[in-house]
Structure 1
């Protein structure tokens, strides 16, 4: 939801950052890999208990993750770039959740349920993206929902920064929002596919 609504406000920052990376000779795919590596570093930092630093590095990864798409639209879009982008996003999210599970084993079951809900959500998201006609600027149909990338980062940050005291509740909140968002996407996809037939 925030990704879609905030895009007009953050677009100037993304454009300037994308222009900078293009000027120094980076490709969109290279920035995707850079965002991924930085995201993995964030997970490692969280695993070692460097919570605030881990969250700051996570948000740097998120910024670069948004910049790579802007770069691709300014230069040349790559199908494999889309594959890397979506795949690496999930690995970074999983890395943060695994780091929390390793640090706070008493919450492992709930964190495992969250991981399962993300798996359910991304399966629906990618399947919808494949079967619903694309009318947007992304390389495939982007099914919006209440939990998009920014909400995921906000919730992961909340989980990390309030652990261990509120980790149960923040993880539960993320789990509920993820499930609602997936159901919302499925309902909307059903509606759109009915129109297309």
Structure 2
């Protein structure tokens, strides 16, 4: 939701950064690789208790992830870039959750349930993206939802900052939002499909 609503406000910064990288002869896929590398380092910093450095790396990774998409649209989008982008996003998010599970094994089961809810959410998201007609700027149909990447980063940041005291409740909140977002996304898609069927 925040990704979609906030896009007009952050787009000028994304455009400026993307134009700069293009002038430096960087490709969108290279920036995607840099973003995932920084995201993996975020997990490392959090593991060694350099929490705030880890969060800076996490959000920098997220910013570059938005920049690479802008670069692709300004140059030439590729199927490989889409695959790398979606896959590496899960690597970064999963790395943070994995590190929290290692550091706080008493919450490992709940964190595993969170991973499962993200797996289901992404399966639905990608399936809808594959079967629904694409009329947007992205390389496949982007089904917006209650929880998008910015919400995920905010919740991951809360989990990291307030662990272990509030890790249980913040993880539970993440799960609830993820499940609710999945249900609402599916309901919106089903409604759209039903309306299309009635028109034909």
Band the TM-score falls in, shorter-chain normalisation: over 0.9
**Deviation for aligned residue 1:195:** 2.8
Residue ranges of structure 1 left out of the alignment (5+ in a row): none
- Counterpart in 1 of 2:131? 131
**Deviation for aligned residue 1:133:** 1.0
- Counterpart in 1 of 2:32? 32
Q: Please give the TM-score of this superposition, normalised by the length of structure 1.
A: 0.98
Residue ranges of structure 2 left out of the alignment (5+ in a row): none
Matches within 5 A, 1:60-139: 60-139=60-139
- Counterpart in 1 of 2:187? 187
- Counterpart in 1 of 2:55? 55
**Deviation for aligned residue 1:191:** 1.3
1:136 is paired with a residue of what secondary structure? Answer: coil
- Counterpart in 1 of 2:16? 16
2:165 is paired with a residue of what secondary structure? Answer: coil
**Deviation for aligned residue 1:51:** 1.1
Contact kept? 1:128, 1:141, Cα under 8 Å: yes
Q: Tell me the C-alpha RMSD between the 2 structures.
A: 0.7
Q: Please give the TM-score of this superposition, normalised by the length of structure 2.
A: 0.97
**Deviation for aligned residue 1:194:** 1.9
Structure 2 Cα separation of the partners of residues 160 and 77 of structure 1: 34
Contact kept? 1:132, 1:192, Cα under 8 Å: no
The number of equivalent residue pairs is: 197
**Deviation for aligned residue 1:196:** 3.0
**Runs (4+) off by over 4 Å:** none
